[in-house]
Chain A
Amino acid sequence: MQNSSFRTLPSWLSWLLLAMFCAHFLAIFSHQFGKEVLPKQVVVLAERYASPWFYQNYEMFAPDPHTQINKFVYRIRVNGEWSAWKDPVYPHLQNLWYNRFGNGGDMVRILTGIADKLYEGRHFIGFMEDSTEEHWFKLPGFILAKRYIEQHESTPTSDTYDAYQVGVLTEVHRIDAEGNMRVMHLFQSYPEKTVAQ
């Protein structure tokens, strides 16, 4: 109920507050939708306003859902013998299937992030003319994969591993003209990395 004894704000102040909210959303809408249509200065200004505090990315499953998923795998060499390729994602994926409220999904996404970087790195190297092993080992995906291996395998000694190799397994999906799902796999490995004992 409105009460005449209420001391409301001066009209100009109410409108000013409302205008500030409108200006906020104008900048956010420009940032979301205006990249292709607005003048460059406006786009830069909107970007500057939005990032990082009001940055929003809503391109979920857009423009199309993922058509491929990358998986990070690695193997280690012990006494000259290579182990089978290890899939660090699978236990977390099982955890995610078993318990949607657990942190399995978080681990799957973190490890998929490594796989995506390994995949991008493999392509990046493909465009280099004279790539050396050092180029491979400086790639962000490799550095993250190395961190994972160092955290999950015991320190290299003559009894444990003396080399390791990382790879990325890509599962590609395509729906054909008859509506059938087609699945393809692509495996790409990085060079073997010997570790200092």
Chain B
Amino acid sequence: MKQGVAILKAWQTQLEVLPVSEFFIRAIYLSMIWTTTKQLGIGDIVWGSDWLHALYTPFANIDRFAMILNEAAVRVYYLWFALPFLTLLLAGLFGKHNALTRLVVWYLYVALHYGNVEISTGGHHLYQQLLFFHILFFKVDASENRHWASARRLLHHLGFYAIWVNIALLYLASAYWKTFGDMWWNGDALLMSISFAEYSFPGLTKVLTHNTWFLMLGSYAVFVYQLMFAVVIWVKPARKPFLLFGLVFHLAIAFIVGLTDFGIFMIASYSIFLSPTEAAAMLKRFSWSRERAMQWSAR
């Protein structure tokens, strides 16, 4: 209890995680700029009037706004959603964002995400949650000492760790549902996943016609990684090597399995696990101006 009180107090008086939050915002915004831009190439089908999926509008009242791009009459105006979304993402990439823009980014993402459920992955569902919590990433100057500043620092920390919990939830839920199957237990899962040309390469499917020890090992490694993520991520010495495995795993999902959005989204979201020093160094390296670079190196 005493420790809890001390942590809650510390979360109101200091904001060491600010560089991490800032780098996280840029990483996920960059991934969304890529995915939104490539989908704009087929925007009329994805969000517009040439849709090729079943439109789904089960909600009423305010919930209807989440599914607004499932209304045929609204889909004609999909650029009114996609272009402001891209603009806000680009501004955020240059550090220009505030609570209001982050709120709008979250809403536009929800609308665009639900606008086409066929291209949705677990990564898209995760981003919907992460973007909600990123609204709370208030920038608070270290010298501010009023109640409002303390409240914003506390909310920033709560949002920050809510993102950790939500990423852990993704792996826990994914592993939990896998326990009900057979293939993750008997080691057939990896071969089955990449045996379809749609989730692999034609050359690869021709070579991998038999389950081998390394494919079985891969199946078990993925299963164990997902099962353990929610626990290991809180153990500081184990975090980096553990996440390194996750990085390789998600690169494989992006470039071998071909679920590029999912793989890239997961890798970008891992930036929340950087240390403040690492995040500040990255921000300094990728700063657009010398003043900005100095700002991060001063921290």
Q: Which residues of A contact B (CB under 8 A)?
A: 1-3, 5-9, 11, 13-15, 17-18, 21, 24-25, 28-29, 32-33, 51-67, 69, 93, 96-97, 100-103, 105-114, 117, 140, 144, 147-148, 151, 171, 173, 175, 178-181
Contacts and interface: CB of A to CB of B under 8 A. Distances in A.
Given A52-B59, A52-B67, A67-B192, A58 B46 contact: no
Interface of B: 5, 8-10, 12-14, 34, 38-39, 41-42, 45-46, 50-54, 59, 63, 66-67, 110, 114, 116, 118-119, 121-122, 125-126, 128-129, 132, 145-147, 150-151, 154-155, 158, 162, 165, 169-170, 173-174, 176-184, 188-189, 191-193, 195-199, 201-202, 208-212, 254-255, 258-262
A97 B204 CA distance: 11
A106 B12 contact: no
B189 A144 contact: no
A127 to B, nearest CB: 20
Given A97-B202, A180-B209, A66 B196 contact: yes
Contacts of A101: 34, 38, 260
A108 B53 CA distance: 12
Contact of B125 (A3, A56, A117): A56
B12 A103 contact: no
B150 A8 contact: yes
Nearest to A20: B158
A58 B193 contact: no
A53 B192 contact: no
A56 to B, nearest CB: 5
18 contacts: A3-B145, A8-B13, A9-B154, A52-B63, A53-B66, A54-B132, A57-B122, A58-B173, A60-B121, A62-B180, A63-B181, A64-B184, A64-B192, A105-B261, A106-B38, A110-B46, A117-B54, A181-B211
Contact of B198 (A18, A57, A93): A93
A152 B184 CA distance: 41
A60 to B, nearest CB: 5
Contacts of A105: 119, 258-261
Given A64-B182, A65-B189, A11 B5 contact: yes
Nearest to B67: A52
Contacts of B188: 175, 179
Contacts of B9: 2, 8, 14
Contacts of B12: 6, 8-9, 14
Contacts of B184: 62-64
Given A64-B182, A96-B258, A110-B53, A56 B126 contact: yes
Contacts of B126: 56, 58
Contact of B132 (A53, A100, A106, A109): A53
A62 B177 contact: yes
B2 to A, nearest CB: 12
A175 B219 CA distance: 14
Given A56-B129, A59-B174, A105-B259, A18 B158 contact: yes
A118 to B, nearest CB: 12
